[in-house]
Each structure stands twice: as C-alpha cells, then as structure tokens.
Amino acid sequence: MKSKTVYLTFNTKNKIEIVRITDQVNEAIAASGVKEGLVLLNPMHITAAVIVNDDESGLHSDYLRILEQLVPYRADYRHNDTGEDNAASHIWRQLIGHQVVMAITNGHLDLGTWEQIFYFEFDGQRNKRVLVKIIGE
C-alpha cells in the first residue's frame, strides 16, 4: 500500500471564491505513483469546503445565491459577538459539505463526464490549505 500527502495552498483575492482544483489533484496522484486507490480532499479550515460538480459559472453563482438566501452573510449571529464577522461562512461549509473522497483508476481521478473538483472559500484573503491524502496500490 502506497500513501502520499500533499497540501494545496490558497490565498484567494476575494473573501468568497470558487477555485477549480482538479488538475492539481491529478498532479498529486501522478506524483504518488498510486494506480488504484482513493484520494481524500479535506479543506483544513472551518470556513471552506471541497465539492465535486460541473464547471459552469451559472451553477457557481447559483450556489452562492442560494447560500446567501439561506444564511445571509452579514446577518446578526452570536458567533460574530466574539469579534469575528464570518459566522455565515461556518454554516455555509456545513450546508455544502466539507470534504470528498474520490476514486483513482489507472493513475487518474475516476471522474464522471462533467465532474470537476472545486475548493469553495467562504472567508478568504489569507493563507489556507487543502489536504490531499492519497492511498492505494
């Protein structure tokens, strides 16, 4: 069994941003030498998420619009009483799901036709990491 750990790093220009990371994940898999296995993608921050979906800008806008409707970013939250301003970002992460596990087949991500991997940043403009943990043969 092989194992490799890679950290992707981000410092987004915007507080809320969606970044496609499919290529970086495939590069990490290639470097690992794993041909058949799994990759865990975990944003190591409680205000970010990793998801799998279509790379379509309208869909990305829809995600953010619906999250804002469900949990308005600038609303009055108890968490913000601590001096923070990011309570909504914590809730958004839980609503969207925070990590994914993907299959590796023949040394590459085994993606469906339109599937891509995205890092969703909800409280950015500072250094953040995504753990890429690859295991397999």
Q: Where are the domains of the chain?
A: 2-74+84-136
What pTM does this model have?
0.95
What is the model's pLDDT at position 116? 98
pLDDT tens digits, residue range 47-94? Answer: 999 999 999 999 999 999 999 999 999 999 999 999 999 999 999 999
pLDDT of amino acid 131: 98
- pLDDT value, residue 8: 98
Q: Say how far residue 100 (Cα) sits from the centre of its chain.
A: 8
Name the pLDDT band for 32 (thresholds 50, 70, 90). very high
Please report the pLDDT score of residue 3 as a whole number. 97
Q: What is the pLDDT of residue 120?
A: 97
CATH superfamily, domain at 2-74+84-136: YjbQ-like (2.60.120.460)
Residue 30 is predicted with a pLDDT of 98
* All residues at 6 or more sequence positions from 109 whose CB lies less than 8 Å from its CB, including other chains: 22, 25, 26, 29, 39, 102, 103, 117
